[in-house]
């Protein structure tokens, strides 16, 4: 364990396994996944066979021991070669967190073992056509009726729409209340009255499904309510504090993958009698790309360790937003630079950096836009008392 690499020996072995899978199984499929825009069930099968889903779950549910840091490392390594494949792990975590954080023991036993094995995929359904950054404006409703809740409404931009087996859905049980009227439910995909709408064609992460889901008098057993009525918004925010770093890890993987590719290219491509890596302007770009990746990794791994150490106060909210913000801004900057390093070749689909650049863009938008991350960071800063630092400063 070093300052630059906080992983234990055992964690490094897992990382080595993930790297091997990424190199041998995922990388050869990446361009085809992007081109076909079809969900890669073969990748899911590879994860099942190698127990990669298990990294996110405790042993009592069939996992290999839950670790946020290792989940981030796994997403990062997979995203170096294919952002869609990295996202499959990130969304399994996002969709499971509500159950991990708020479910009863009975609910955990019902859902987590199937998620840990990868038999079931999960999704998180918060966003609606009229409420993205403003969750309190949601319109999906849940009305208690005997032993059930009746859900009506729709969600938009839901990752894993149509492929997930369970959805953690947020709906208003008290329409008069804002944030305080929101509750969370586990909805199984075969529920009557639940349907999947259109799957969106996208700029990037094309193999991942992003779509609409609808509830038309969908009856959900009251036993599928997570926590108590009215606790949904707080739960959603607790989930995002822990899931946003996963998108940071996707961004970091894209940035590092693009840096590695650009470096190899710059070693072999010659102009004016020498490799372009030896031209000062290109060398400077490569140095900046690498430095940004390393800085992003330090922030990201720190957040992973905080979650694993259960250090989950206001500091986590702030650092989680910082990791998501910085890693994904770096992803966009670095992938754009990688395209530039490759010149004309960077712009054509024969080379992977144009795909990485397209994939990077979404990381600045979903799971809280980077503008929202800046608001979160500033809000937490304003709560802190730093006046003591200025004592005696004239």
- Give me Rg for the CA atoms of the chain: 22
Distance between CA atoms of 278 and 269, rounded to whole angstroms? 10
**Pairing, β 122-125 against β 166-172:** parallel
Cβ neighbours of residue 294 closer than 8 Å, sequence gap 6 or more: 4
Closest C-alpha to 214, from 270, 158, 265, 263: 158
Element of type H or E holding 328: helix 314-342
Q: Is 176 helix (H, G, I), strand (E, B) or coil?
A: coil
- Which one from 128, 367, 380, 384 is the annotated catalytic residue? 367
Q: Is 367 a catalytic residue?
A: yes
Distance between CA atoms of 362 and 329, rounded to whole angstroms? 11
DSSP 337-365: HHHHHHGGGGGSTTSTHHHHHHHHHHHTT
Closest C-alpha to 84, from 121, 122, 31, 127: 31
Element of type H or E holding 215: strand 210-221
Backbone CA torsion sign across 160, 195, 133, 176? negative
Cβ neighbours of residue 216 closer than 8 Å, sequence gap 6 or more: 152, 193, 195
State the burial class of residue 38 (Cβ atoms within 10 Å of its Cβ: 0-12, 13-18, 19+).
exposed
Q: Mind telling me the catalytic residues?
A: 367
């Amino acid at each position: 364990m070093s300052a630059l690499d906080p992983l234990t020996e055992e964690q490094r072995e897992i990382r080595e396994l993930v790297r091997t899978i990424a190199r041998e199984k995922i990388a050869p499929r990446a361009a085809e996944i992007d081109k076909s825009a079809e969900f890669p069930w073969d990748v899911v099968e590879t994860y099942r066979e190698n127990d990669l889903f298990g990294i996110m779950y405790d042993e009592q549910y069939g996992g290999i021991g839950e670790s946020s840091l290792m989940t981030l490392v796994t997403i990062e390594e997979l995203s170096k070669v294919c952002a869609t494949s990295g996202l499959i792990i990130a969304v399994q975590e996002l969709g499971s967190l509500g159950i991990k954080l708020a479910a009863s023991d009975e609910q955990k036993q019902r859902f987590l073992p199937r998620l840990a094995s990868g038999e079931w995929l999960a999704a998180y359904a918060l966003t609606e056509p009229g409420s993205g950054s403003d969750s309190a404006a949601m319109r999906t409703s849940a009305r208690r009726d005997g032993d059930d809740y009746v859900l009506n409404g729709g969600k938009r931009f839901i990752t894993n729409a149509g492929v997930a087996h369970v959805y953690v859905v947020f709906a208003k049980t008290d329409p008069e209340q804002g944030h305080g009227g929101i509750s969370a439910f586990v909805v199984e995909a075969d529920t009557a009255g639940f349907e999947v709408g259109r799957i969106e064609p996208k700029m990037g992460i094309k193999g991942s499904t992003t779509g609409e889901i609808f509830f038309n008098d969908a009856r959900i057993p009251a036993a599928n309510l997570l926590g108590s009525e009215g606790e949904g918004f707080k739960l959603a925010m607790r989930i995002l504090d822990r899931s946003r770093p996963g998108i940071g890890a996707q961004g970091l993987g894209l940035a590092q993958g693009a840096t590695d590719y650009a470096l190899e290219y710059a070693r072999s491509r010659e102009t004016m009698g020498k490799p372009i890596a030896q031209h000062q302007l290109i060398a400077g770009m490569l140095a900046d790309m690498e430095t940004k990746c390393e800085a992003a990794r330090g922030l990201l791994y720190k957040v992973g360790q905080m979650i694993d150490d259960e250090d989950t106060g206001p500091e986590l909210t702030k650092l989680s937003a910082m990791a998501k913000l910085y890693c994904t801004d770096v992803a966009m900057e670095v992938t754009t630079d990688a395209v530039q390093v490759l010149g004309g070749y960077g712009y054509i689909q024969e080379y992977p950096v144009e795909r990485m650049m397209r994939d990077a863009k979404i990381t600045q938008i979903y799971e809280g836009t980077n503008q929202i991350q800046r608001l979160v960071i500033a809000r937490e800063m304003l709560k802190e008392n730093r006046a003591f630092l200025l004592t005696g400063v004239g």
